[in-house]
Structure 1
Amino acid sequence: MSIGLSVLGSTVVATPAHAVRMATVPLASTMTTAQQVASFWLADEAANLKNATPYTVRTAVGAERLSTDIVPDGPPRTVVPPLEGPPPQEGRTPTTWGKVFFIGGDGLPHWCTGTSMQSKYRNVVATAAHCLFDIEAPMGALGKWVFVPGYSEGTTPFGLYVGKLGTSHYDFDDIRDFDRDYAFVNVYHGVVQSSPDVLTNAGALGANVGGQGLAVNQPVTSTVDVLGYPAGPNPDGSRPYTGETLERSTGSTFATRFTALRADRPVGVDSPFTGEGALGSSWLIDYASDTRTGYLNGITMSVSDTDGDDRYDTGISPYFDSELVEVYRYAIAQWTGFAVR
């Protein structure tokens, strides 16, 4: 049976071979909790945002480049991004990319990269699943999860968006299958701190910054643009990135293989990004610089030094297939509402 998905005028048609089980995790389930989470990050001139460090869990893996292809489990499909994004706000160009902040298993504030996605309610953020689930604990989500598009040095130029519900593939949460290391998080309308201890509604995420499209079952032999906030060191100790600004690299994709993690179909891309900070970076095909939009076709779950020169040269992502579409379909159907009115 074909299932139609309407996304602001665009359609994805999915014919899954079998039902996909989702792993959903509540984040801030009530408006009161959402306000408490927002205040945690914004209090004391955003001290907790400023003090957060790049997440260091599963940032690098030993990988081998393969010359084989990956066989899709269905036909190629796409969800197109909006033809036009939101207008500039006070001279600022909206950006779908930003940092997702959370409390790690060590009790400290950390961040990964996240991306606003095209969705029915304009409330979906894509990132790596292990930037949502605490894989160092038996189960459960990372705490106080928020997304800040365009983040820089404690500022929230387009608002702060508190996560309400996170969704990934059941196999990631259940058996740590890293072929499913992707997640979509529904966020409340954004908030800004209009004065100390006062939060004001900033509107829906997609209305403020736009959203990226989605592409699945694509050929591995493609070129993608990787966008994220790398910050960590190379194995040789060099630090080419600071994590303070959005970085972009362009490279070819290829099949990979590694044994350290459970994964049958990981994809690699030529990219010099270091792992810390770059976890959750978006891989876009058909990226257009003028609209700053494309089709999400990968998410960095780790990086690798495949040639042994002590510098990372490869980003690693799960292959985006028909089962990912089902997870995405579930996420975009979830309404979140307001954190403050």
Structure 2
Amino acid sequence: MKRLLVPLAVVGLSAATLAFPATAEPHWASDNLQPKPADAYGVAYFWLDANGAALRKATQYRLDTKNVPKLVSSGSKGAPDGKPGMTGPTGTAKPTVSKNVNLPKTIGKVFFLDRAGNYRWCSATSIQSQHRNLVATAGHCVFANGKDDVYDKWVFVPGYYQGRAPWGVYAGAYAFTAFDLDTYDDYDGDFAFVAVHNGFALAGEKEVSHKEFKEWAGDKWIKPRQISAEEFRKCQINLGECWSEGEDKPADLVGPDYPGAVLEKVEVSKQTYDDAKIGRGQGFKFGDPVVEQVDKAKWDAYSGPGDKGSGPDKFGNYTITHYYTQKWVKPGTTRKYYEARYIIGIAKDMGRLGDVVGGQGVAWNQPMGQNVVAFGYPSAPHPDGDRPFSGVTPKWCAGKTGTKTYQVNTFRVDTHQVLKCSMTPGADGGPWLMRYDNNKRTGYVNGVTSMFHDQDGNGRIDFISSAYFDGEVAAVYNKANYAQTKAIVGPKGELLK
């Protein structure tokens, strides 16, 4: 897929919030995910089908490195390339009072297929945007190794929990990241903004007429229903869609050693039973005689080969004694008849992401040493093998970011910001929220988790790092801010064009 790589003129949010030095020329990279509603529908349905089986199958994404990368201080006290700026959040949650950190409604997981076809996930958040449709996450959770292509079947699921998508699934339409990450695999630009279509959820299925089935633009399928031979003949007369399978074929007598032979019992007279031998062959005895207690009406009506007793015993019971011999057969077959049931899948439009769960603000060129709360879905074990997190529910770390930026030589990093935190991979892409309001559950995204580090060498993650959000991040965000997306399904659940 060819990339669009263009220097970005500074336009958009406001001249005050997106002012760059005269020498700065931000670059961005963009790629299509699923811009067409039909393709987006297929992607979302892939993850939702079978009650979210694919969502539960996914495992956390991990960077392609054998060892936990080391942080090296760059000595810099920050890397702003222009004036500080921010855009405010929007929220939908009602203010609450809590002594703990209240989880924001905006956070969730992104799901995708990696280059090997494995089902993967990272962490992410909804953010404020002009069209209420943007997701912020790590660049390596969208762009395949930072170059060549984007990951397949990319969706965002806010509030994800154990295979459930409480606010729907939002299929990615367009992805935006830094030029240097896309071109040089430079993790100083390990962030991404993804414009997503309206969310949708599956709302069951409905049987419809053949005419309605043909006209339906959404998901549809045919379910067979077994019918009788008489119903089949009527269906053919009425030119319905019906068919038959197999053939009527009687059972054949075979020996007990014939492959697939089935033992059946045949009711015979007492004389035939007494004359039969005990063994496995045709006509041999099949167990002991069976005495059946019946009422008088059944006793009077019986005309089989068994013996009827002389009449009621002292308790008023009537009996029939049955005698059986063996019959070894190769089973026959019976023709089966079916008719088509026309089924359509009903989907529900959940609306724009920002209208459903709100969106966090975004901040850039902020001073180092900010108080932040980092959220994510950690899951992977620590380097020593201990696995304290399940990845099922989001976790958080709170503290001040470092006062200096750091290098990570193996990933071309010169200016990452750091936070002391023990979250493990799976939290990749989770937001670092500056000025987090615990009541409103909103703040300003000033970083997204990129890497995990064990600085003291004890086999436990103790730091996480993020790209420093500078003017280049603002430029990419500004470009993504203009991306327009669509509803996937209409008011009746039909697929839109």
Q: Which of the five TM-score ranges fits, normalised by the shorter chain?
A: over 0.9
Question: Are 2:82 and 1:63 aligned?
Answer: no
- CA distance in structure 2 between the aligned counterparts of 1:162 and 1:337, rounded to whole angstroms: 10
1:44 to 34, 39, 50: 50
- CA distance in structure 2 between the aligned counterparts of 1:2 and 1:42, rounded to whole angstroms: 39
Match of 1:139 in 2: 148
**Pairwise CA distance, 1:87:** 5.9
Match of 2:157 in 1: 148
**Pairwise CA distance, 1:14:** 2.2
- CA distance in structure 1 between the aligned counterparts of 2:10 and 2:474, rounded to whole angstroms: 13
Match of 2:30 in 1: 24
CA RMSD of aligned residues (A): 2.0
**Pairwise CA distance, 1:94:** 6.8
Match of 1:323 in 2: 472
Seen in structure 2, the aligned counterparts of structure 1 residues 51 and 27 have a Cα distance that, compared at 3 Å, is: same
1:235 to 375, 380, 383: 383
Given residue 316 of structure 1, which amino acid in structure 2 is its aligned partner?
S
Given that 1:257 and 1:266 are in contact with CA atoms closer than 8 Å, whether structure 2 keeps it comes out as: yes
- CA distance in structure 1 between the aligned counterparts of 2:432 and 2:399, rounded to whole angstroms: 10
2:92 to 85, 95, 99: 85
Match of 2:285 in 1: none
Unaligned runs of 5+ in 1: none
- CA distance in structure 2 between the aligned counterparts of 1:26 and 1:143, rounded to whole angstroms: 11
Given that 1:3 and 1:15 are in contact with CA atoms closer than 8 Å, whether structure 2 keeps it comes out as: no
Match of 1:13 in 2: 18
Match of 2:459 in 1: 310
Indicate the larger mover: 56-65 or 171-180.
56-65
Secondary structure (helix, strand or coil) at the match of 2:144 reads coil
**Pairwise CA distance, 1:2:** 6.9
Given residue 450 of structure 2, which amino acid in structure 1 is its aligned partner?
M
2:395 to 234, 239, 247: 247
1:189 to 181, 189, 198: 198
- CA distance in structure 2 between the aligned counterparts of 1:15 and 1:252, rounded to whole angstroms: 26
Seen in structure 2, the aligned counterparts of structure 1 residues 317 and 205 have a Cα distance that, compared at 3 Å, is: same
Secondary structure (helix, strand or coil) at the match of 2:92 reads coil
Given that 1:303 and 1:316 are in contact with CA atoms closer than 8 Å, whether structure 2 keeps it comes out as: yes
Please list the CA deviations of residues 290-333 of structure 1 after superposition, one character each: whole Å capped at 9, or x if unmatched.
Answer: 11110100111111001111110101111100011010000011
Please list the CA deviations of residues 244-290 of structure 1 after superposition, one character each: whole Å capped at 9, or x if unmatched.
Answer: 11111112212222211112111111111112x11101111110111
**Pairwise CA distance, 1:65:** 4.7
Given that 2:18 and 2:471 are in contact with CA atoms closer than 8 Å, whether structure 1 keeps it comes out as: no
**Pairwise CA distance, 1:19:** 3.1
- CA distance in structure 2 between the aligned counterparts of 1:239 and 1:256, rounded to whole angstroms: 27
Match of 2:262 in 1: none
**Pairwise CA distance, 1:58:** 4.4
Match of 2:356 in 1: 208
Alignment of 1:241-280 (within 5 A): 241-254=389-402, 255-275=405-425, 277-280=426-429
2:117 to 102, 107, 119: 107
**Pairwise CA distance, 1:222:** 1.8
Match of 1:339 in 2: 488
Given residue 92 of structure 2, which amino acid in structure 1 is its aligned partner?
G
**Pairwise CA distance, 1:177:** 1.2
Match of 2:189 in 1: 180
Seen in structure 2, the aligned counterparts of structure 1 residues 4 and 63 have a Cα distance that, compared at 3 Å, is: same
Seen in structure 2, the aligned counterparts of structure 1 residues 38 and 4 have a Cα distance that, compared at 3 Å, is: closer
Given that 2:380 and 2:387 are in contact with CA atoms closer than 8 Å, whether structure 1 keeps it comes out as: yes
How many pairs are equivalent? 331
Given that 1:182 and 1:299 are in contact with CA atoms closer than 8 Å, whether structure 2 keeps it comes out as: yes
Unaligned runs of 5+ in 2: 1-8, 96-102, 206-344, 491-497
- CA distance in structure 2 between the aligned counterparts of 1:4 and 1:147, rounded to whole angstroms: 25
- CA distance in structure 2 between the aligned counterparts of 1:47 and 1:71, rounded to whole angstroms: 44
- CA distance in structure 1 between the aligned counterparts of 2:186 and 2:72, rounded to whole angstroms: 18
Normalising to structure 1: TM-score of the pair?
0.92
Match of 1:224 in 2: 372
